Chain A
Amino acid sequence: MNRFWSIFVARNKEYYRDRASFGWNIMFPFLIIFGFALIFQNGGQRPYKIAILTSQTIHSDIQQQICSHELFSCIPFTNKEMAIDKLNHHKLDMVLENISQPFKYWINTSSPKGILSEGLLTRISMSKEERHQRLIKQTIHSKPVYYIEWLFPGIISMGMMFSSLFGIGFSIVRYRQNGVLKRLKATPLTSFEYLCAQIISRLLMILATNIILFIGCSWLLGFQCKGSLLHLFIYFSIGTISVISLGLIVAARTKTEELAHGLLNMITWPMMFLSEVWFSIEDAPQWIKNFSMCLPLSHVTHGLRQIMNDGVHLFHLSSEIFCLTMMTCIFLCVGSLMFKWTQ
């Protein structure tokens, strides 16, 4: 325990005395909060961008309806060629010429957002009676999950992943390169003790920064965690330990920071895309969905969303917790066995 404590204390001192790194890690959550506050200040960015080709004097009903719609962002254009070019390059989703009826519109048929914009435009231009004859709208009765509330667990998972993997990976590889690990090998310290001290030290840092991020975002953006904050804290800690342990495998034998960088990128990018941090993979092939369940970040994101968005009790996440714990054990065992003190 003394040996673990010694390395743990030394690593923490190293961390908080490195003012540049410490300052950045403290500043980073504030920057994210600030970014979120900017993006979601009006309920989020309007997803569909429409160029309105019109003279300033003409304001039709349809134009007003489109531009006041929460999903459309209207951008006035006078140069038609320029607007079409931007449409072609997916910078705009639709171009609407609002000069004389019937209005003309252009979409890029290879753009899903363009096709959806067209659907919305058709809906707006159709009368209610006409619509009700063909379709009956049904609404869900549960409290809706706002996009920011769905996105936030993904964002903190992603931040945690980068901090865990790169933080632990680089520090161990650097120690190996400059001989700190070699010096430690000539002591009774075991690789397991050393790695545990690294994990706990990194965990504390990640928890501290994410608590700041959570408090700041919930205060600024007004979202709430539907589940228990204690459960959220426990689950996030379990997930973080698992992802840090994965970083240990990369750092176990890697000799140079360049190689570590490549290997960590190889892990982080697929994890980011397959763990539903940014978007759902509901429509992906089954084998991709199965593979994503082998990644710790998928379980972390899924569990955090369940606690934050649905108020799920920790008990109901036992299968996720079991998976994460098993992954942690496997990563730690493999990392300890593979671990090399020297180059």
Chain B
Amino acid sequence: MLSSNKKKYQSTTGRLTVKNLIKNYGKIRAVDNISFHIEPGICFGLLGPNGAGKTTTIEIIEGITQPTSGHVLYNNAPRNRTFWERIGVQFQSTELFAFLTVRESLQTFMRLYRNQVKLDDLIRMCSLEAIQHQDNRKISGGQKQRLMLAIALANNPDLIFLDEPTTGLDPQSRRHLWEIVETIKRKGKTIVLTTHYMEEAQVLCDEIIIVDKGKIIAQGPPEELITRKCAGQIIRLPQENVPEHIRQMLDLNQDFAWHLDATQKFILIQSKTINDCIELLMNHKVDLSRLTIRPHNLEDLFLQLTGKTLRH
């Protein structure tokens, strides 16, 4: 079973360093002078809204896109041709050779590497046994993502790039893929993951960076970032249970902040001192029968840092 109590696994993989990376597309700066390093054996998450520069950054590291300036170092040295022998890549959306079965598609990619895993082990690991003789174009979205992940693992890579691997998948398929990623992590592989799903990043990543408009706006382990940037907890109540004069009282206290949720049906009160907040509500006879309390999560942090307005 998956656990959010993340554990770093010993790894022999190299260290990845990104230094002063800039990428311009004409007059648009997609990546704006970002630097970070990734320690071996961790799952490193790149988060950010659409168009933040995540995919461009990951593709520069993979060697797919050339940067305008900056360096990517692997084991403290510039990447060379052997880099592609050591990495595995799962892109957001790519096709495969048509008219090949799942097994043949895997074989095709395995033969491109000197170092190869056992095909049957790979098929078992990614739960592809039942579909291994099916045409790769006639499998479901979840199966396709598992196949693409298996292809990324065909050379037993040290460093694995997963670009939004669960986008468009149903909750079952998503969780299944998380389990496979956890298995990979247990083998001490380094994973670089981009995702829109904050829950996914919180479950899988040991360290994240949040990128917006090509710049890093936060960096660190998810739990530490949440604690550092979003202290306290969130109280959720039906908005009709909290009358206007109570809201005005909440406004007067610096430890409390409230807003309505996206449905406008619930009021969310962020509180650094949860006991004081509940006491205030009880003193004013607020109906707490439908009260829920939850800690801050990565999504709260993400929205706090990147804002709630729609990105075009």
Q: Which residues of A contact B (CB under 8 A)?
A: 2-3, 5-7, 9-11, 13-14, 17-18, 178-180, 182-189, 341-342
Q: Can you name 19 A-B residue pairings with CB atoms under 8 Å?
A: A3-B112, A11-B97, A13-B97, A13-B99, A14-B97, A18-B99, A178-B94, A180-B95, A182-B91, A183-B89, A183-B151, A186-B62, A186-B84, A186-B89, A187-B112, A188-B84, A188-B112, A341-B64, A342-B65
Asked whether, in the complex, the Cβ of B96 is within 8 Å of the Cβ of A14, the reply is no
Residue of B whose beta carbon sits closest to that of A11: B97
The 8 Å CB contact of B95, one of A6, A179, A185, is A179
CA of A294 to CA of B3, assembled, Å: 68
Asked whether, in the complex, the Cβ of A187 is within 8 Å of the Cβ of B95, the reply is no
CA of A187 to CA of B82, assembled, Å: 10
Residue of A whose beta carbon sits closest to that of B111: A6
Asked whether, in the complex, the Cβ of B93 is within 8 Å of the Cβ of A179, the reply is yes
B:84-120 near A, CB below 8 Å? 84-85, 87, 89, 91, 93-100, 104, 107-109, 111-114
Asked whether, in the complex, the Cβ of B64 is within 8 Å of the Cβ of A6, the reply is no
Asked whether, in the complex, the Cβ of A2 is within 8 Å of the Cβ of B111, the reply is yes
Residue of B whose beta carbon sits closest to that of A182: B94
Smallest CB–CB gap between A59 and chain B, Å?
Answer: 64
**Which chain B residues lie closer than 8 Å to A187 at the CB level?**
84, 109, 112-113
Asked whether, in the complex, the Cβ of A189 is within 8 Å of the Cβ of B112, the reply is yes
Asked whether, in the complex, the Cβ of B113 is within 8 Å of the Cβ of A180, the reply is no
Residue of A whose beta carbon sits closest to that of B112: A187
Smallest CB–CB gap between A1 and chain B, Å?
Answer: 10
Asked whether, in the complex, the Cβ of A186 is within 8 Å of the Cβ of B64, the reply is yes
Q: Is the interface of B mostly helix, strand, loop or mixed?
A: loop
Asked whether, in the complex, the Cβ of A186 is within 8 Å of the Cβ of B63, the reply is yes
CA of A145 to CA of B65, assembled, Å: 58
**Is residue B81 contacting chain A, with contact meaning CB distance below 8 A?**
yes
If A14-B98, A14-B100 touch, whether A5 touches B91 (CB-CB below 8 Å) is no
CA of A183 to CA of B65, assembled, Å: 12
The 8 Å CB contact of A180, one of B65, B89, B97, B111, is B97
Smallest CB–CB gap between B236 and chain A, Å?
Answer: 42
Residue of B whose beta carbon sits closest to that of A190: B81
CA of A6 to CA of B154, assembled, Å: 14
Asked whether, in the complex, the Cβ of B94 is within 8 Å of the Cβ of A179, the reply is yes
CA of A10 to CA of B93, assembled, Å: 20
**Which chain B residues lie closer than 8 Å to A18 at the CB level?**
98-99
Asked whether, in the complex, the Cβ of B108 is within 8 Å of the Cβ of A6, the reply is yes
Q: Which residues of B contact A (CB under 8 A)?
A: 62-65, 81-82, 84-85, 87, 89, 91, 93-100, 104, 107-109, 111-114, 151
4 nearest A-B residue pairs (beta carbon): A179-B94, A6-B111, A17-B99, A186-B89
**Which chain A residues lie closer than 8 Å to B82 at the CB level?**
188
CA of A14 to CA of B135, assembled, Å: 11
Smallest CB–CB gap between B116 and chain A, Å?
Answer: 10
CA of A189 to CA of B64, assembled, Å: 13
Asked whether, in the complex, the Cβ of B111 is within 8 Å of the Cβ of A5, the reply is yes
**Which chain A residues lie closer than 8 Å to B84 at the CB level?**
186-188
Residue of B whose beta carbon sits closest to that of A177: B95
Asked whether, in the complex, the Cβ of A188 is within 8 Å of the Cβ of B85, the reply is yes
Smallest CB–CB gap between B278 and chain A, Å?
Answer: 53
**Which chain B residues lie closer than 8 Å to A188 at the CB level?**
81-82, 84-85, 112-114
CA of A222 to CA of B143, assembled, Å: 56
**Which chain B residues lie closer than 8 Å to A14 at the CB level?**
97-100
Smallest CB–CB gap between A221 and chain B, Å?
Answer: 36
Asked whether, in the complex, the Cβ of B108 is within 8 Å of the Cβ of A9, the reply is yes
Asked whether, in the complex, the Cβ of B104 is within 8 Å of the Cβ of A10, the reply is yes
**Which chain B residues lie closer than 8 Å to A180 at the CB level?**
94-97
**Which chain A residues lie closer than 8 Å to B104 at the CB level?**
10, 13
Smallest CB–CB gap between B163 and chain A, Å?
Answer: 11
CA of A11 to CA of B87, assembled, Å: 24
Asked whether, in the complex, the Cβ of A183 is within 8 Å of the Cβ of B81, the reply is no
Smallest CB–CB gap between A18 and chain B, Å?
Answer: 6
CA of A183 to CA of B149, assembled, Å: 12
CA of A186 to CA of B95, assembled, Å: 14
Smallest CB–CB gap between B14 and chain A, Å?
Answer: 17
CA of A17 to CA of B99, assembled, Å: 6
What 12 new A-B contacts, CB under 8 Å, besides A180-B95, A188-B84? A11-B97, A14-B98, A178-B95, A180-B97, A182-B91, A185-B64, A186-B63, A186-B64, A186-B89, A187-B84, A187-B109, A188-B113
Smallest CB–CB gap between A21 and chain B, Å?
Answer: 10
Residue of A whose beta carbon sits closest to that of B113: A188
**Which chain A residues lie closer than 8 Å to B97 at the CB level?**
10-11, 13-14, 180
**Which chain A residues lie closer than 8 Å to B98 at the CB level?**
14, 18
Smallest CB–CB gap between A52 and chain B, Å?
Answer: 58
Asked whether, in the complex, the Cβ of B91 is within 8 Å of the Cβ of A183, the reply is yes
CA of A11 to CA of B104, assembled, Å: 12
Smallest CB–CB gap between A199 and chain B, Å?
Answer: 17
CA of A5 to CA of B112, assembled, Å: 9
Asked whether, in the complex, the Cβ of A10 is within 8 Å of the Cβ of B100, the reply is yes
Smallest CB–CB gap between A90 and chain B, Å?
Answer: 47
CA of A338 to CA of B107, assembled, Å: 29
CA of A5 to CA of B62, assembled, Å: 24
Asked whether, in the complex, the Cβ of B100 is within 8 Å of the Cβ of A13, the reply is yes
Asked whether, in the complex, the Cβ of A10 is within 8 Å of the Cβ of B94, the reply is no
Smallest CB–CB gap between B51 and chain A, Å?
Answer: 18
**Which chain B residues lie closer than 8 Å to A342 at the CB level?**
64-65
Smallest CB–CB gap between A54 and chain B, Å?
Answer: 62
Question: Which of A185, A188, A341 gathers most chain B CB within 10 Å?
Answer: A188
CA of A186 to CA of B162, assembled, Å: 13
Smallest CB–CB gap between B114 and chain A, Å?
Answer: 8
CA of A11 to CA of B100, assembled, Å: 9
**Which chain A residues lie closer than 8 Å to B89 at the CB level?**
183, 186
Residue of B whose beta carbon sits closest to that of A178: B95
CA of A215 to CA of B285, assembled, Å: 98
Smallest CB–CB gap between A195 and chain B, Å?
Answer: 15
